[in-house]
Every structure is written in C-alpha cells, then in structure tokens.
C-alpha cells in the first residue's frame, strides 16, 4: 500500500536531477565542438594541368585568341603585342616562354582575322603578357591521383589469382598492366613549382581584357618562365690624363 506514494515521491525529486544531467550532457557536447583556433580543412577535389611542352604554349595561345576575339570591346581594335622585357630594362630579359608565347599568340590572332600592328600608335590597344613564378617551400600532404589506390589494390588482387587458378603466375600481371597503361597517362606529380600567366589588353588607363591561368611546371623549367639577368658587356677602363703634377 506504500509503494505508490514512494514512486510518486521518487519521480518528484529525481526528475529534476535527470533533466539537469541531460542539460550537463548537452552543454558538454556543445563545448566539445568548440575550438580556440580555426580547424584546418581541405578544398574540394580539383585538377590543375602541368605545362611542359611548347605545344602547351600553343594550346594556351589558341585559348586566349578565342576569348579575345569574343570580346566586343577588342574584337575590331588594332592590337599591338608588347615585346618581352627589353635587355636594357633593369638588366633583365624575359624567359623563353614569353618570347615563344608572344609569337604563338600573334599567329593565332592574325589567323583568326585580328588586326595586329607591328608598331604601337595612339589608336592601338596593347596586349601585355605577364608571368609570375611561385615556389612552395613547405607543403603538407597532397592526395594522390584519383584511382591510384584502387588501381594499386586491383593490381595486387590480380597478381594473386595465378597462384590459385592459373598455371603461369606471370599471366596475372597482364590485367594490372593494362589497367596501368590506361590510367597512367593522366597521372603526374604535383611538385612545388607553379606559374600564373596573365594576358591583358590595355587602352590607356583602361583594362579591356584580362585572363589569368595557373599551371604546374617542372622545377628544371623554371628559367623558361622567370625573367633572368642579362650579362652586361664589360666596361673599358678609362685613364684621365692631366698636365698638372
């Protein structure tokens, strides 16, 4: 007969304690998901091409010529492609890329009917080419190419088949080799060297067109894109002659 009053009393005093425990738990979860500094995360997966042949320079020239002639403000303008750094300008000269890309872009524009001038005039718009080299010195982990681990594990799995079923173990490497041949053409190392190539068309103080593209490059090719100092001709020493002793 006393059980019901006892249960009622228990619920009356223990219910607030249960709610308090739940509150403490939720507050603990809240503070567990806080941080005194931003947590490092990654960007969504993306791809970036590697420029490692003169043909790639021509692909970029075709791309820029197409987009330049699609702009109403420059399509019918007389264009003058400014030369690379003069040898006398601060003692630096443009790299091989700037000279080659300027020639390729000229050919593409002329082929597509653009008016390209050999000398600048008051009516011409200047086409300027700029190259910025970037060297990363402290990169963290970079994800391998998509499918690399899948291809590797598939190759390992295939290599075990002959020991179980085929009479010649070497035959098991053939499917893995075919898979590697199919996918390896799209793989390349990331590297620490990048370039930013910007093509602009300027009319006085106005920028009529601007396009920037980013590529990986091989470390040994950096000189092709970076301006380098031009050796100066040695100066002839002079001797002053005077009749005073």
Residue listed under structure tokens 């008051």: 122
- Of 24-38, 140-154, 220-234, which gets the smallest average pLDDT? 140-154
- Quick one: pLDDT at residue 160? 46
- Quick one: pLDDT at residue 89? 40
- Quick one: pLDDT at residue 191? 79
Alpha carbons 152 and 173: distance in angstroms, whole number: 12
Region 130-157: mean pLDDT is 69
pLDDT in tens, 46-102: 888 999 999 999 999 999 999 999 999 998 999 999 986 544 344 445 688 999 999
What token pair was written down for 227? 């301006």
pLDDT in tens, 6-39: 445 555 555 555 555 555 555 555 566 788 888 8
Question: Does 152 or 234 have the greater pLDDT score?
Answer: 234
DSSP labels, 125-143: EEEEEEEEEEE-SS----P
CATH 1.10.287 given to domain 54-137+190-229: no
Element at 35 (helix H, strand E): none
What token pair was written down for 222? 């950096």
Region 130-140: mean pLDDT is 87
Classify each residue of 161-185 as buried b or exposed e, where b means 16 or more C-beta atoms within 10 Å of its C-beta.
eeeeeeeeeeebeeebeebbeeeee
Alpha carbons 223 and 227: distance in angstroms, whole number: 7
Element at 195 (helix H, strand E): strand 193-203
Contact 66, 109 (CB under 8 A): no
pLDDT band at 43 (very low <50, low <70, confident <90, very high): confident
The 3-state DSSP class for residue 26 equals helix
Q: What is the CA radius of gyration of the chain?
A: 34
Region 144-165: mean pLDDT is 52
| The pLDDT of residue 116 is above 80 | yes
Residue listed under structure tokens 């890329």: 97
DSSP labels, 39-98: PP--PPP----B--SHHHHHHHHHHHHHHHTT-HHHHTSEEEE--S--TTSTTEE--HHH
Element at 228 (helix H, strand E): strand 228-229
Domain ranges of the chain: 54-137+190-229, 148-186
- Quick one: pLDDT at residue 87? 40
What token pair was written down for 101? 């890309």
Q: For residues 91, 96, 102 and 105, what is the CA-based torsion angle, rounded to 10 degrees? A: -160
Cα distance between the two ends of the chain: 137
Q: Assign residue 229 a region (left: φ > 0; alpha: ψ between -120 and 50; beta: otherwise).
A: beta
CB neighbours of 163 closer than 8 A, spacing ≥ 6?
Answer: 169, 172
Average pLDDT, rounded, for the chain: 75
Residue listed under structure tokens 């059980």: 3
């Amino acid at each position: 007969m006393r059980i019901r009053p006892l249960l009622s009393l228990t619920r009356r005093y223990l219910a607030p304690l249960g709610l308090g425990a739940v509150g403490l738990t939720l507050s603990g979860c809240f503070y567990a998901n806080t941080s005194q500094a931003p947590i490092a995360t990654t960007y969504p997966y993306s791809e970036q091409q590697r420029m490692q042949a003169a043909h790639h320079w021509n692909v970029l020239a075709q791309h820029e010529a197409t987009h330049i002639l699609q702009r109403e403000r420059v399509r019918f303008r007389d264009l003058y492609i400014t030369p690379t750094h003069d040898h006398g300008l601060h003692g630096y000269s443009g790299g091989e890329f700037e000279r080659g890309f300027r020639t390729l872009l000229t050919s593409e524009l002329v082929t597509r009917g653009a008016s390209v001038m050999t000398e600048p005039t008051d009516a011409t718009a200047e086409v300027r080419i700029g190259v910025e080299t970037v060297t990363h010195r402290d990169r963290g982990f970079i994800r391998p190419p998509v499918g690399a681990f899948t291809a590797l594990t598939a190759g390992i799995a295939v290599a075990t088949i002959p020991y179980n079923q085929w009479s010649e173990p070497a035959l098991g490497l053939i499917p893995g080799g075919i898979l590697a041949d199919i996918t390896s053409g799209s793989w390349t190392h990331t590297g620490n060297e990048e370039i930013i190539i910007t093509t602009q068309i300027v009319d006085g103080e106005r920028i009529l067109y601007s396009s920037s593209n980013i590529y990986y490059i091989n470390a040994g090719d950096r000189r092709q894109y970076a301006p380098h100092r031009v050796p100066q001709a040695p100066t002839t020493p002079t001797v002053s002659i005077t009749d005073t002793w």
